[in-house]
Homo-oligomer: A and B are copies of this chain.
Amino acid sequence: MEKADRRTRIAAMAAMLARNPSKPFALGTFCETFGAAKSTISEDLAVVREAVSRYGQGEVEVAIGASGGARLLPSVAGEQRAAVLYEIAQRLSDPQRILPGGFIYTVDILSDPKYVCAMAEILASMYLRTNPDMIVTVETKGVALAFEVARYLSKPMIIARSDAKITEGSAVVINYLTGPSKRIRTMSISRRALSAGQKVLLIDDFIGGGGTLHALCGMMKELSITVVGSGVAIATRQPEKKRIDNFKALLVLEEVDTVNEKVTIRPF
């Protein structure tokens, strides 16, 4: 490949790193792509690193040495985080979102890249250091969020389903109780998807009592898989004591007042 000038290298490198969060790029790859020496590439990376950090576009981690490389880690500055969570909370607090039964209509927020990417990047940055092998979610509303977390961490995602599908091959199935009515529900996960000894991060859109995530944890235990944490978009204030402990939520649903048509939801 013909040599690129410095500005071109810097622009292309920044775009490559930003398009592939958490994916490591070897210095050697950059050298080959741009026809430049390692020392030159290192200097360019220093510029990219400083620039993306200064303008809130993530943190570039540069590893020094023979096998050195760089990757862009998900990172959301405190004020940016507060602003986006406040905006989502505001949108969700619209009384027109109240559905029969006191549920809140959240589907639009949970499938709009504008909000999903922001929430996923915050969750990914929270669990970055736990270094999971895989992201696990439960169908269906949290799938986009979980997939985005997987993308930011550059790991695969797996979906547990309410019924085993023929297209998933043999499955592990668990029955559990969920919701205020303690209904028996079934959850199944493809056996091919996971292997013993792996570490997984659970991501879901919502936690009420915690029955679903508790069941998912039980299923992981069954498969000798370690759960490094559970990240959710929205947690209800009540019950205070959930069936799982180590979860983190982005938003708290304080109250749904169906009589006065009022929803109170705020950043965690």
Which chain A residues have a beta carbon within 8 Å of chain B's beta carbons? 4, 6-19, 33, 47-48, 50-52, 54-55, 57-58, 72, 99-101, 103-108, 111-114, 116-117, 139-141, 143-144, 147-148, 150-151, 154-159, 161, 166-169, 190, 192-193
Contacts and interface: CB of A to CB of B under 8 A. Distances in A.
B113 A156 contact: yes
Contacts of A192: 105, 107-108
B17 A15 contact: yes
B113 A147 contact: yes
Contacts of A57: 12, 15-16, 19
| Most chain B Cβ neighbours within 10 Å, of A18, A33, A169 | A18
A166 B113 contact: no
B139 A7 contact: no
Nearest to A161: B140
Contacts of A106: 167
Contacts of A105: 167-169, 190, 192
A99 B156 contact: no
A43 to B, nearest CB: 10
Nearest to A157: B111
SS class, residues of chain A in contact with chain B: helix
A169 B98 CA distance: 9
B15 A111 contact: no
A231 to B, nearest CB: 17
Given A113-B150, A116-B147, 4 more contacts: A12-B14, A14-B15, A113-B157, A140-B161
A55 B7 contact: no
A197 to B, nearest CB: 18
Contacts of A107: 158-159, 167-168, 190, 192-193
A140 to B, nearest CB: 5
Contacts of A141: 167
A8 B113 contact: no
A10 B7 contact: yes
A139 B163 CA distance: 13
Contact of A111 (B4, B12, B18, B147): B147
A96 to B, nearest CB: 9
